[in-house]
Amino acid sequence: QVQLVESGGGSVQVGGSLRLSCAASGNIYSINHMGWYRQAPGKQRDLVAIHITGGRTYYDDSVKGRFAISRDNAKNTVYLQMNSLKPEDTAVYYCLADLILPGLTSTSSVYWGQGTQVTVSS
């Protein structure tokens, strides 16, 4: 059973920092991209940052210069370092991984973590 387990969420003051982590486990052949989405109450789930195998990264304009995504391929883990946090960063953060499973090497599938709450207070 493939799992993405997230940790690192919490509550911080404006300007504070948090570091999220997400570890993929299970019967995985390889991982394409891994990234982070977030969803505020009543809102759609929006892309925050993504890390592509090979090192390319993408950040939403709202977090550029404040957030940094990194990946440890040996541990199948992706991190999101969040600095200079703002109230508008408050959301549930979801890890995403595009995975290739054994026996299905020509096809990848998207899996989601359970979500971790980030709350930034004024």
Per residue of the chain (122 residues), what is the pLDDT tens digit? 899 999 999 999 999 999 999 999 999 988 999 999 999 999 999 999 999 988 899 999 999 999 999 999 889 999 999 999 999 999 999 999 999 988 887 889 999 999 999 999 99
Supply the pLDDT for residue 54. Answer: 83
Residue recorded with tokens 């890390």: 51
Strands 30-39 and 18-25: unpaired
pLDDT value, residue 103 = 85
pLDDT for the residue 101: 87
Q: Would you call 42 helix, strand, or coil by DSSP?
A: coil
